[in-house]
Structure formats: C-alpha cells, structure tokens
Structure 1
C-alpha cells in the first residue's frame, strides 16, 4: 500500500485501486492530495488521482458528502473537451474518496508567467481564447465553474490550457430552466461583486437573493485576462474597501490606475464589457467571441483552437521570466489597502489591522524543519537541475574532497557565475531552463530548443522557482533565514548544532505559511538539498508551493532570491 497523502489521516490508501500509484504528492488542496498513477499492467497512460480523506474533509473541514458527490457528478457529466481536465473515474472505501483524472503534463500555466509583468498580447489572447472555449462548453452543459482563478488553470504537454477543479461548480440550467445560486464562494480578487455585496440575513455563506453563476464566471474570466496581460490583479477584492476597485466603479471603468494604462485600448473595451457591475448588462459569451480583439489572428492559435507552435510559444514564455536583482524586494506590489475581507473564506490571515499594502505583513507563521520529520512534506521532486532524470544522484549523497571545488564552506566574496565552473559543469547546466531567469537580458539557449519536440521540453511542467548556490547548507540557511525575517517571516532561532546536523544530512526544509497580498492562504516549503552536478557539489534551493495563487508564490520567490542575490549562481 502507498503511504497516506500529506495533510490527511496517517492511514494507507486503498489497496484495491484499479491503477498503480507511481509518485509522491504532485498537488494538494484543503482536504486532498494528488498523485500520479498508471494502469496495473502497463506504464501508460499516466493519470492524476485526487485522494480525499473523508474524516479530514467532513469532520475537520467544511466539505460535506453532498458537495463531494456533486463535484464528481458534475465533472463526469461534463465529458470530454480539449481545454478541460477530463474525469476518468472515481471510487471510495470507508476512509477515502478518489477521483481519477487526465494528467496536466504541462503543469500550472501561471507558474510560467512573470509576476507584475504578464505576457505579450499574442500569448494572452491564445490562453484567453482557450479559457473562453472551456467556459463556453461548460455553460452549454448548464454548468458554471464558480472558481475561475490562476490556481485552477493548468497546461497539457503541448502547452494548451486545461481548466481544473470543479469542487465549487454548480448546475445553473437544467431541462431549459435557469436557476440562481445563493452560495458565497470564490477567491476575492476573481469573485464577481454581486456575490460579495449581496445581503445575507440567514447565513454568512448564503445570499438572500441569488445570482446567475454563469454571468459571474464571465467576470472571473475578465480578471484572469487582466492578470495574463500585466501579471497582477486589478484589485484585491471587488468591494469599496479596495481603492482600485472604488476608482474603477466611480469612473465607470475609466480608472487612472497604472496597470490599466499598460493595456491597449481595444483590450480595455473588452475588459470593461466583461467587468460591468450590472450582471444584466455584462458581456455574454457571444459578445466576447465577436469582439474585434477576440477575433484577431494569432500565430499560436491553430484553426482547431490548439497550440500551433508549441516550441515557439514555450521559448517566448521562458524568455519573459526574469528576476531583476536591482529591485527592492521589501517594497510591495500588492493591490489596495482594504480591511480584512470578512465576506470570504481565508486559509490563514494576519491581523485585520495590518495594512494590505505592506509586504512585511504577509506572513503568519513558518517553522524550520527537516523533511524526514515533517509528515506533511511528501512532494515529488522535479528532475535534478541540469539532468533529465536523477538516476544515480542522491540529494544527500556524501561528497568526497575531490567533489568539492564549487562547494563553499566560507562566505563568498563575489557573486558566483556559471563561467567560474569547470566546462563540463557549464555544459550540463546550460540545458537547465531555470537558469535563464537570472540573466540581465533573458534568452533561451539553443541547447534547449534544438532538441525540443514538445512545449514541455522547453518550459518544464515543474516550477522554475528554484536556484543553485555554491554555498554550503550551513552558510546558506542563515542567509535565507535573514531574508525571510526581512519579509516578515518569523523564523525560530537555530544554533550551530542544528546547522551542523543539516549539513551532515545534506538537506533541510523551512515550512512557510502565509497570507498573500490579498489575504489568501499561501503555503509551501523552501527546500535545500546538497547535489552533485558534473562532479561539483552545490546547494539546490526549491520553493515548493503546496497551495495558493501561483503568481503570488512566484512573487514571494523573487523577493527572497533578490535578498540572497550574491549567493545565487547566475549565467555569464
């Protein structure tokens, strides 16, 4: 039997599954974790299986058996669509419910978009077109998603959009009859204003007057388009407590906000139509599909609505990921300064009296720990940096003296560059896509694109929120701790003995729990491991997101990297 998913009851998974579990955790939600699986007697196809602990979800959480049953029923009812994660099957025993799904081989879309920058018009148009296709299909089946946000937008191996997570989906039309929804749900930056502002006299999560869930989906799609274009949301929540939203409403969409100024007028007209306050006058899907910007030609979009140039698209997106080491990471880029959003569910939030715009008020708690003692950390490792697999490479493999030319037990006197390493190590790391983000003028090495056959060959499915350092763990951990302190992360003290133990183990982990700039839960780990690369021992640091907005996690990663910048290995 496979071990239990993290964050759930420490009991084994069902032994009579109709497939084989072949990975550790690759994704996690409030009550569930996701593993890879394959047929019992064959290596392919590889699917994703979501395991929900009933006791954890029903007794400790806020999920009901009826809600879980509805998620499965609606997901299966949707059937197949090229831009929607397909439900393969489901099952349960007395302890677990599982849902088998198509695997999103390309990972998270918004892992691959630069925070505060966004993507070019062609790429934004390509993914927006596919999102509208997915939502159009759902609505044609009478189902609204109700939780459209970056966290639920995934990619296929060819880089096509895949909409996921139907836990909040609802039937708004059946047998020709339209019904309104009353449940308050969604994520504050993406939720429609009619859901937040409605009167609730009976229960905090139920509106007295219902809303059209399909029309609310249109609003959320508009916010996602905005984020694609500029790498940030237009507001932190659609209430008058948000200064950006207040100005948007009072100026009838003619806001002076600097982010709106970056967007071309023809797209602004589409956004204003989708983000109309009155649901009755908000753009319909037909109006979106006939808008001049939507119908424009796009070199990445095939007549069938799929990726016409996967390698070109991946190359362009990778070249747009860039970390500017000259910025001040303690200055926030979050939107607004509204008060605690009591209308919405928050995973972990700091004091409501703290300013929303203060980046140092984002973190609620962290705890340094080693992976072996942290039962909730059981995540699948990505391929080792610079290597297609990590066969024969142990993260904590002891390094002999002749494997230590790059591993520094003394503080660095200058920024480490790739050119300072042996040529064999340089050749190895030149194939690693995560290094391109640290160059002043990002470009994608030909070694990455020449042999590429798929989108994921250039832009991998795993997160690029990681870096290499020649510093030892015992030197790098204090630097990271100081960086986290500067960002408001209270890291408990540790002594020389603990540092020595981490150095001997060759690995360490810091668990991060925070509320992001919009007071939404953002959780994960900063994992440090000693690795061998072409005979050189180095330290690899990975930022592993467990839950939360991928753009917010990217922003957090960038800030920490800039603060420890002189320890980060860079190309050149």
Structure 2
C-alpha cells in the first residue's frame, strides 16, 4: 500500500505492533484516531490505541515531535489513578506515533447528557467530585491538563469518570518550583480569561506574560460543572465579545442570565468562587473541597469516591435522554456538509444567530480543523442486537420481503406496536429507543439483567434512530433537514440513491460550526438492516470532532425536522 497524500489520515498503520487491532475507529481528534486492541493470541484485556499521524501533525498542523513526546512523558508520569486514563506504553514508526491506553468502556460522559437539560444535582455532584479528584491528583504530580472540556471526559464500564487526552498537558511544578505557561491553548467556552485576554506581541499563540496553568484548570472545571447542571455553557468565550460573560463580570457573578437562574443557590455560590476573573481570587482545590455543596451527602457517591449505584445511575441518565416531538428544532448550526461524492464546500449566510452566538475570537483552539474531506468513513459500528436471531445487515432476498419493506414505508409516524411481535421484542431491547418515547422511564428488562452501568447505558452514542422508510424517501428528507438547519448539503441524483440502495448504505459528511461558533464535524450514516425479513434503515450520527452536547443538539434538531419517519415506542 502506498503512503497516503500529505494531510490525510489514511496512511497505512504500523504492522509490527505488540498487540492486535480489533476495531475500526472509535474516536478521532485533529491529528489522531483511536482503535481498540488486545494482546496477540488473547481476547483480553481490551485497550485503546491512539495513532498520531506524524506527517499530518508536523507538516499541516501545529504539533511538533517535541510536543508529542511531551504528551507521552507527562501521561506516563501521571501513573495510575481511578479517574485518569492510564498510559500503558508507546511506540512509533516512520508514519505514526502510537500510545497504548486504558480503554474507557463506558464511552463519552457528555454523549449521555441531554443538551439544555443537564443531569440533575446528584449526578452532577458525583461527576464533579470525580473530576476534582482527577485534577487534584494531576496537580499533585505537578501536571496541569489545560484542555478540560466535555470531549475529554470519559467513563469506565461502571460509569466512573475518566479524564483523558493529555496532548496539551504541561508541567507547572518541578522540584517544588512553580513555572508559568505562555502557550495560548484551550477551547473558548472552557478557557480561562487570563489566557484569552493576555497580550501577544510576538506570536499569536504565545503570551507575553505567562499564566498559572493549574489555576486555569480550576476555571475549566467550573464551566464543566455548569454544563453538567444546565446542559449548556455559560458563555461562548470569556471576553467582552460575549454578552453573557460581560454581564457576569459587571454584576460580580450575579447575572440575570436565564441559565444561571436554573442553578441551585449553593452551586451558584461554588461557581462564583471557581469563576473569579482574577486568578489570584479564584478558589483553590482545598476551598472547593470544603465548600458546603461539595461536601453534601450523595447516595451515588461511595466513601472511596466511586459510583455507588451503577445500575441506578445509568437508569436515571437514560431516562433523562428525551426528544420532545412537540417542540420545533432550533437553528444552532451553520457550516457545510458533503455527501460521499467529492464536492466543494458551500459557504452560507450567517443570518440566523442562536442565543449563544458572539463574534468568536479565532484563538488557537485545541481542535483545529481536521481534514474531514480526506478522511474516509471508517468508524466502528455499534453492536446491534446481534445476539438475537432475525437481524441482518443483508438486504431482502425475495420479492415478498422487498414488498413488505416497501409497504412499511407508506405509514407516517411508525410505531413499534405496529410491527410483528418478535420484532417488537428485539427493538424494545435497544436503549436508543427510549429517547423517542413520550412517557419517561426505562423498561424493567433493561435493569433486571444488568450487572454494570454499561449494561443499561451502552458506550456507543444514542444519536441514532431506525426508520422503516425506503432510502429514496429518507435520504432527501435528511438533506432537506440539513438545509433547514443552516447546514447546506449536496443533492443526490437518482443513480446515486439507487447505488446506495444496492449497497445498503450511504454516508453524508457533515462539517459545521455549532451554536458557540466551534467546529463540529462527523457523518450521518444510513445503513440497511433486516428485522424478521423486513428491511429497515438505521441512521447513525457519528461525531468525529467537536462538543458532544452540541452534537446531541444537532441530532435532536434533525430528528425533529423528520420526526414522521422515525420509528418510536408506542
């Protein structure tokens, strides 16, 4: 296989690895992709391997060999902690650097949180406590994370928090001596103000006067707590360009913003201490740990800081993922999307701005634009109910089966109760179906046989739905929904749709800015499946990069635009 073009991530992976790869891509960053692996000739343990494309990182990105090496050194230096992803080893060849890590079997935490709703006080308290534990441990080792945000907060199989991605970590203390950092880095909604407003007379990404990276971590933890409780960020960026932040500063933290009004008084008190604009006045970790809200009792929190009720917690979180079909979609995305065929990006007129839209500062973000157009869709498919008979990715094989599939598409707003009983039984075990029910709750069958958190709330994304409608109806509706949401999409010709029907799948590449003007990239994948001899389409929204809550919001908006074709409980 010849090397891939510069800037692409399709260069052949190393062949002399001390483990065996067992998955397609399960995660992606600006310069890296992640896959699962196991030891040679053994099924366990399953670990995660981060592959960094050196050519793309060095030639078209901002990374250097020194920075990659520093990530590995600091990650190994951290050692083992219950709430920090453990580094197991590393290596490289001419094209790639790889890092072997503990696998977060529970997936992304914020993929399991409802946008604009949050998780409630007890669950927020559990995960904030574990985040503070992880950050406190890192700081005790002299390491600051510098990139604390939802994309980097993962879960174990039991639902415990795991802090990940140390590509921007920095050593702020060595041999008892403190040092300041000068690099401008971070995601604008989560970054501390002293980094954004610092003077940069020499280079755009280097401050004249350094900042205390560990104190900046505390600011980011505060924003994450806000998002856990509310389901949205308090501002786009901590500058006067954001009206929300401007009012927050002017009122000394007693803003009239409706999101702050949703916070319980004790959480608001803690956040005002963590989000002090002056870093010298900002709460220390000790002040956070002694705050009344932090020390409150919580039935989900065990004495050793772990999740005390994995099944109950997963059940509660799954029940909170809900799509209200009576509400209209909100236009909070803008950008461009492309289908499988190559096409030019289309600029769009930014004429409709959501609540969280300020003229975002084009600062040095932690997720620079990934060459999505050069990256083939190679993501691992979440396991369907493969243990049940009657489910297949193959197409109908007889005229009668094909007719059944076509007949099913004539119904509007299809319900599971309209399907054969055996199909109902299979689909009722799909956790993603619960989000479309208008009656809150989780079926008892989900919890009766569950032994761990991931048995109820799986690692894969809930951003998916099933439709009995044919692709020649479904695909145009998806493309129209993207246009309606301000995400222009290409037209698919009849031959292209016919080709997709024959292959059983099609992928729409999506690249946009979210409601906070940050990059949001991924694919909408439609794949055919068989249930009891009848064809259906499974539609998955696969995020490649960007904020998980914003991706969840995007998924909900598309579903609300095409709700009549989404299979629902009932």
Q: Which residue of 1 aligns with 2:140?
A: 140
Give secondary structure in 2 for the equivalent of 1:24. coil
What does the per-residue CA deviation read over 1:211-240, in whole Å, with 9 as the maximum and x for residues that have no partner? 000000000000000000010000010000
Task: Indicate if the aligned counterparts of 1:406 and 1:470 stay in contact, CA closer than 8 A.
Answer: no
Task: Indicate if the aligned counterparts of 2:7 and 2:60 stay in contact, CA closer than 8 A.
Answer: no
1:467 to 450, 465, 468: 465
Task: Indicate if the aligned counterparts of 1:110 and 1:150 stay in contact, CA closer than 8 A.
Answer: yes
Task: Indicate if the aligned counterparts of 2:149 and 2:220 stay in contact, CA closer than 8 A.
Answer: yes
Give secondary structure in 2 for the equivalent of 1:408. helix
Q: Which residue of 1 aligns with 2:114?
A: 114
Shift >2 Å, 4+ stretches? 3-12, 330-337, 342-349, 364-367, 388-414
User: Alignment length, in residue pairs?
Assistant: 550
Give secondary structure in 2 for the equivalent of 1:407. helix
Supply the distance in 2 between the matched residues of 1:106 and 1:405 (Cα, whole angstroms): 40
Relative to the length of structure 2, the TM-score reads: 0.93
Q: Tell me by how many angstroms 1:6 deviates.
A: 13
Supply the distance in 2 between the matched residues of 1:36 and 1:81 (Cα, whole angstroms): 21
Give secondary structure in 2 for the equivalent of 1:135. helix
5+ residue gaps, structure 2? 333-352
Task: Indicate if the aligned counterparts of 2:186 and 2:366 stay in contact, CA closer than 8 A.
Answer: no
Task: Indicate if the aligned counterparts of 1:72 and 1:90 stay in contact, CA closer than 8 A.
Answer: yes
Q: Tell me by how many angstroms 1:341 deviates.
A: 1.0
What does the per-residue CA deviation read over 1:331-373, in whole Å, with 9 as the maximum and x for residues that have no partner? 5495433213123438679xxxxxxxxxxxxxx9998xxxxxx
- After superposition, the Cα gap between the structure-2 partners of 1:261 and 1:100, relative to the gap in structure 1 and judged at 3 Å, is same
Supply the distance in 1 between the matched residues of 2:5 and 2:420 (Cα, whole angstroms): 41
- Which moved further from structure 2: 39-48 or 325-334? 325-334
Task: Indicate if the aligned counterparts of 1:396 and 1:529 stay in contact, CA closer than 8 A.
Answer: no
Task: Indicate if the aligned counterparts of 2:479 and 2:491 stay in contact, CA closer than 8 A.
Answer: no
- After superposition, the Cα gap between the structure-2 partners of 1:77 and 1:419, relative to the gap in structure 1 and judged at 3 Å, is same
Q: CA RMSD in A?
A: 2.3
Supply the distance in 1 between the matched residues of 2:273 and 2:211 (Cα, whole angstroms): 18
Q: Which residue of 1 aligns with 2:55?
A: 55
Q: Tell me by how many angstroms 1:490 deviates.
A: 1.5
Q: Which residue of 2 aligns with 1:337?
A: 357
Supply the distance in 1 between the matched residues of 2:565 and 2:5 (Cα, whole angstroms): 34
Q: Which residue of 2 aligns with 1:456?
A: 454
Give secondary structure in 2 for the equivalent of 1:562. helix
What does the per-residue CA deviation read over 1:303-325, in whole Å, with 9 as the maximum and x for residues that have no partner? 11111110000000000000011
Supply the distance in 2 between the matched residues of 1:401 and 1:7 (Cα, whole angstroms): 47
Give secondary structure in 1 for the equivalent of 2:556. helix
Relative to the length of structure 1, the TM-score reads: 0.92
Q: Which residue of 1 aligns with 2:433?
A: 435
Supply the distance in 1 between the matched residues of 2:214 and 2:367 (Cα, whole angstroms): 26
Q: Superposition pairs for residues 4-403 of structure 1, below 5 Å? A: 8-332=8-332, 334-345=354-365, 376-384=376-384, 387-389=385-387, 394-403=392-401
2:506 to 488, 505, 508: 508
Supply the distance in 2 between the matched residues of 1:47 and 1:7 (Cα, whole angstroms): 27
Supply the distance in 2 between the matched residues of 1:429 and 1:86 (Cα, whole angstroms): 36
Q: Which residue of 2 aligns with 1:489?
A: 487
Q: Which residue of 2 aligns with 1:358?
A: none
- Which moved further from structure 2: 152-161 or 333-342? 333-342
Q: Tell me by how many angstroms 1:411 deviates.
A: 5.8
Supply the distance in 1 between the matched residues of 2:516 and 2:312 (Cα, whole angstroms): 34
Supply the distance in 2 between the matched residues of 1:6 and 1:294 (Cα, whole angstroms): 49
Q: Tell me by how many angstroms 1:174 deviates.
A: 0.6
Supply the distance in 1 between the matched residues of 2:189 and 2:48 (Cα, whole angstroms): 28
Task: Indicate if the aligned counterparts of 2:68 and 2:167 stay in contact, CA closer than 8 A.
Answer: yes
Supply the distance in 2 between the matched residues of 1:290 and 1:149 (Cα, whole angstroms): 24
Supply the distance in 2 between the matched residues of 1:115 and 1:59 (Cα, whole angstroms): 37
Q: Which residue of 2 aligns with 1:527?
A: 525
